Amino acid sequence: MRIHFGGIVKSIAFLLILSNVLLATNRVLMPKSIIANNRWPTTSTYHQFYNMKHDSVDVLFLGSSVTVNAFSPQEIYNHFGIRSYNLGSEQQSIFLSYFWLKEALRFQTPQVVILDTKFLFELHKENPINTTEGLIRKCLDPMRWSCVKQEAVKELCAIDKDQTELSYYFTNIRYHSRWSDLKEYDMVSSETKNSELKGYAAIETYGSETYAAFISSGDTEIKAETHKIMQIYLDKIVELCQNNDITLILVSLPGNSMSDAINNTLTSYAQINDIDYYNMCEVELYNSVGAVLPKENTIGHENIWGAMKMSQFFGKMLRDNYGLPSTVDMQYEETKEFYDHIIKNCELNHITNICEYLKAINDKHYTTFIVIRDEATAHLTDDAVAGLKELGLQSDLTGKYGWSYCAVISPENGISEVLSQNAPAELAGSIRNKKTFYTVSSCGFLSGITSTITIDGKEYCPNVRGLNFVIYDNDLMKVIDQVTFDTCGNNIAIR
């Protein structure tokens, strides 16, 4: 029998091409959660984790979105030199935490694992994995294929009969309808690398004015029932940590549901398994964090200032109680500037003085859009005029009552501005090397009633009387602030 080697080679080549096409299709169609489009940028979180040097992370955080917002690895490193990584994700159930811990141990040898207990209790009766199908995929899809992911998919589909293994192997089955919704970052994988926060996600809004921390009634007998499947995987996490000589710490964060029953269940479990449990909902521990509301919100989804306090509390505890050493690591040194930039972005949203604001936006990372709506010069102060000039703007708005004015300040393209007395002032162009397009139109009260700032077809202008600002972060590829200063009236900031 003659063997047709040419045909075999062609068949192998065809299969290789088909495999590459399928892999590329899977990658493109899979939703990307990055800073540009999501408060919890899971794609970036896991992408960056795989880029960390092996055996360079000493502490891992696992759990739901409250974990993602509470623990900032950069904050911990900056103060204590402790290297940590936050592997949390939205509604990450204990099942998913187990498999991400197992996956992490393929690359890292952490000394401590800190696990959020929120999803140990039943939160999604409709799903046996105790979370939604979409958030299971958001957590599991970015995991690299290995025996760990294969095991996770197999066990997931065995527990949840509505899931199919094939749809995880070929994600185009699940996401085929996304063809019409694809964005730039779906096509260019490098755009998912713009998160250097090591899994932490910053929130800029202030929290509530008060928090009623948990005070035990003294009933030590009542117990809360845990989710049966989550209990199984918590036991697996305990065993996995014990087998790898890892200190496991359980934590309940402020804002989690808390009662004597829940506290007793977790305290008892920790004692039986010889692990530590920190109930940060409890009044004494909560007060020990030292957060001042409403700015330093440590409740529920903590904001960046609350996360600083919570991260410093745990960093000190890890150093003092668990002996974690201080280390100099360039992976953390090189991301200090990015972290400071994120803090500045969050602070920008709370500046109410126009002169302070003008100084803050004089930043190479920003493209600034400015339009007048109605009237903006009647009470424009000399200091504000000077601040506009410090941005490089040439037009003098002094005495231009009712005029139209727009400007775009871009580190890439320089400054464009238009000043018009009896007609709208308009600009159009692009930034980010012609990847992002904008149109800007200003109407002073002599020219119309609507001012606009559209970026990639979406309207961002507050369209309120005065000087309207829209700040676009070129690195994060998104608008990070929209504000109007009523320089025709009382100069207040309107957001």
Domains and CATH numbers, the chain: 31-341 (3.40.50.1110), 352-494 (no CATH)
pLDDT at 177: 52
Let me know if 325 is exposed, middle or buried by CB neighbors in 10 A (0-12, 13-18, 19+). exposed
What percent of the chain lies above the pLDDT cut of 90?
Answer: 83
Residue 135 has pLDDT above 50, yes or no: yes
Its pTM stands at 0.90
User: pLDDT tens digit string along 361-386?
Assistant: 999 999 999 999 999 999 999 999 99
**Is the pLDDT assigned to residue 186 strictly greater than 70?**
no
Amino acid letter for position 13: A
For position 374, what pLDDT does the model report? 96
When pLDDT is averaged across residues 100-118 and rounded to a whole number, the result is 98
Say if CB 346 and CB 202 are below 8 A apart: yes
Name the CA dihedral angle for 68, 72, 76, 81, rounded to a multiple of 10 degrees. 100
pLDDT at position 176, please? Answer: 45
The arithmetic mean of pLDDT across residues 100-128, rounded, is: 97
Please state which of the ranges 168-172, 335-339, 342-346 shows the lowest mean pLDDT: 168-172
Confidence of residue 102 (pLDDT cuts 50, 70, 90): very high
Q: Which backbone phi and psi does 426 adopt, to 5 degrees?
A: -135, 145
Report the chain's mean pLDDT, rounded to a whole number.
91
pLDDT at 173: 52
pLDDT at 467 over 60: yes
Percent of the chain with pLDDT over 70: 88
420: left (phi over 0), alpha (psi -120 to 50) or beta: beta
pLDDT tier at 11, thresholds 50, 70, 90: low
pLDDT in tens, 58-78: 999 999 999 999 999 999 999
197-252 residue pLDDT tens? 999 999 999 999 999 999 999 999 999 999 999 999 999 999 999 999 999 999 99
pLDDT tens column, 148-172: 999 999 999 999 999 999 889 877 5
The verdict on whether omega for the bond into residue 424 sits within 30 degrees of 0, i.e. cis, is no
Q: Which amino acid is at 369?
A: F
In one-letter notation, the amino acid at residue 434 is: K
pLDDT at 446: 84
Predicted confidence (pLDDT) per residue in 408-466, tens digit: 999 999 999 999 999 999 999 999 999 999 999 999 998 988 999 999 999 999 999 99
Indicate the pLDDT class of residue 20, thresholds 50, 70 and 90: very low
Q: Which helix (H) or strand (E) holds 407?
A: strand 404-410
pLDDT at 172: 54
- Give the residues across from 482 on adjacent strands: 470
Distance, CA of 90 to CA of 105 (rounded, Å)? 21
